[in-house]
Structure 1
Amino acid sequence: MSIETFDYILEKIGDKLKKKWSNFIKVPICPCERLIVTLRFLATGASFASLAFSFRLGKSTVGAIVKETTQDLWDNMFTIHMPQPNEQCFQEIAEQSWKLWNFPNCIGAIDGKHIRIKCPGNTGSMYYNYKHFFSIVLQGIADANCKLIAVEVGGYGKQSDGGTFSSSKIFNLLKSGELPVLGNTCLPNSEEIVPYVFLGDEAYPLLECLLRG
């Protein structure tokens, strides 16, 4: 991450990260350090214990900092950098997909990512995945520049990508016609009319608006 990007993020959420001075916390952890700790965790996946040792903080303090800062990041920045996709957004993605990857009518690539967790209580094997660890699933849609335009978190680790997709909000919006997906159009240099599609791997179902490879 560049210094300019770091300063931009700190400017957006710095006020939210400030803590009041008190008689038992004479020198509160500054917003800059809180953001650094959180970014290190997100970038490396290091344990709270190792981050606590590196930054000379308590392990529970690191956990609280990461939880609070990530929530502030999402609350204050998702509307700016990950707004709900609209027709114009999908049109730009389709144009970039053709320009960069020579693939027509593509409005995004979809896939799932297993996020390792400790097994929640009384859940049996619901979160135990095929990779043999406990996880929740993050399903994301990326544009032609590999930037996420939509994410959904919370699928059970035992679910396949197809199962996660079938129970996701994205699928329900597609099924009901509420997602502003572009209408059918001609392929480049052709008169054949075909729909715009998302791209997924073989774990996803083959649908009119979802092409799998």
Structure 2
Amino acid sequence: MPEPVYEDLLCLVTPIIAKQDTCMREAISPHERLSATLRFLITGGTYKDVMYSSAISRQSMGYIIPETCDAIYSALKTYLKFPSSEEEWLAIAEEFERTWQFPNCLGAVDGKHLAIVPPAGAGSHFFNYKGYHSIVLMGIANANYEFIYVDIGTNGRISDGGVLQKTTFFQRLNSKRLNLPSPRKPSGHSEELPYVFIGDVAFALRTDFMKPYPQRQSQASSSKKIYNYRVCRARRIIENVFGILAARFHIFRSPINTSVHNINKIVLACCVLHNFLRKKLRQAYSPHQHLHSENHEN
């Protein structure tokens, strides 16, 4: 992150995290709070590790980092804006068709299990099918490797399909309150097709939610193979976003050892920072040559 971008971020969060000096001592400055928090997210270290590099006590870190993560999300949440109008949905669909040749697609959906140190007495509440304790980050991404919606906090025992059904997104999708565009004819098609979200086989098939054919069915005909290739190529965008997130924020590379409430704040801060840096520093943050691309000529 170059200094000018850091200064922009500091200006945005300073009104939220600035504290007043007292007659007893000077307050920890917004710059120290923000730099310590970013170091914690990026290195994936513990409060004790960051304490040595920032000269802030471990006890102070315990409330400074969650508070600053909350401030980052509040200051940058406009960078993680859920579409509210038909025009905004159409812009996402056009980008999916242009970039990944999947028509009428409004977003790629998936869940990521984030390893945690479970709270005392939690038992198997957070224990997932992969064999470790986790909470689930459910995300929807556009064709440009950016989040348009995230939900965090559901325990890892629940499947991705079950987690999705608990989200406000799914409730609004069910009650048709998302202002989705009306069906249209994609170029080269004779029939109108609805606008859809796409996910993997863990999700339920709906008229507004598509997924690949099961493996055995997809081998039955060439048209199903082509469909599976197209939907998987567009769907893996959300998996790529999770990959970029884990590559830049090493906090996701080991079990997060803090309360579940604070984990939610940490994850939301990383998600909005991801979108912020994709907008401000696309080439430096996630170089184009490191992302998936195809040779359309051959």
TM-score, scaled relative to structure 2: 0.66
% identical aligned pairs? 35
Q: Distance in 1 between matches of 2:80 and 2:35?
A: 22
Q: Which residue of structure 2 aligns with residue 21 of structure 1?
A: 21
Deviates more, 1:59-68 or 1:138-147: 59-68
Q: Which residue of structure 2 aligns with residue 96 of structure 1?
A: 95
- Please report how far the alpha carbon of residue 139 of structure 1 lies from its aligned counterpart in structure 2 after TM superposition: 0.6
- Please report how far the alpha carbon of residue 4 of structure 1 lies from its aligned counterpart in structure 2 after TM superposition: 3.0
- Relative to its length, the structure with more strand (as a share) is 1
Kindly provide the amino acid, as one letter, of the partner of residue 161 in structure 2.
G
- Relative to its length, the structure with more helix (as a share) is 2
Q: Which residue of structure 1 aligns with residue 82 of structure 2?
A: 84
Kindly provide the amino acid, as one letter, of the partner of residue 81 in structure 1.
Y
RMSD over aligned CA atoms reads 1.7
Q: Which residue of structure 2 aligns with residue 4 of structure 1?
A: 4
Kindly provide the amino acid, as one letter, of the partner of residue 85 in structure 1.
P
Alpha carbons of structure 1 residues 129 and 44: separation in structure 2 relative to 1, 3 Å: farther
Alignment of 1:14-163 (within 5 A): 14-26=14-26, 28-78=27-77, 80-86=78-84, 87-163=86-162
The gaps in structure 2 that reach 5 residues or longer are 213-298
Alpha carbons of structure 1 residues 111 and 4: separation in structure 2 relative to 1, 3 Å: farther
Select the structure with the greater relative contact order (CA < 8 A; seq sep ≥ 6): 2
- Please report how far the alpha carbon of residue 67 of structure 1 lies from its aligned counterpart in structure 2 after TM superposition: 0.6
Q: Deviations over 1:155-212 (max 9, x none)?
A: 1111111111122211111111112222211122222211111121121111111112
Q: Distance in 2 between matches of 1:198 and 1:4?
A: 37
Alpha carbons of structure 1 residues 147 and 126: separation in structure 2 relative to 1, 3 Å: same
- Please report how far the alpha carbon of residue 96 of structure 1 lies from its aligned counterpart in structure 2 after TM superposition: 0.7
TM-score, scaled relative to structure 1: 0.91
In the alignment of these two chains, the number of paired residues is 211
The gaps in structure 1 that reach 5 residues or longer are none
Q: Distance in 2 between matches of 1:197 and 1:42?
A: 34
Runs (4 or more) in structure 1 with deviation over 3 Å come to: none
Q: Distance in 2 between matches of 1:175 and 1:121?
A: 36
Q: Distance in 2 between matches of 1:5 and 1:123?
A: 41
**Residue 173 of structure 1 pairs with residue 167 of structure 2:** no
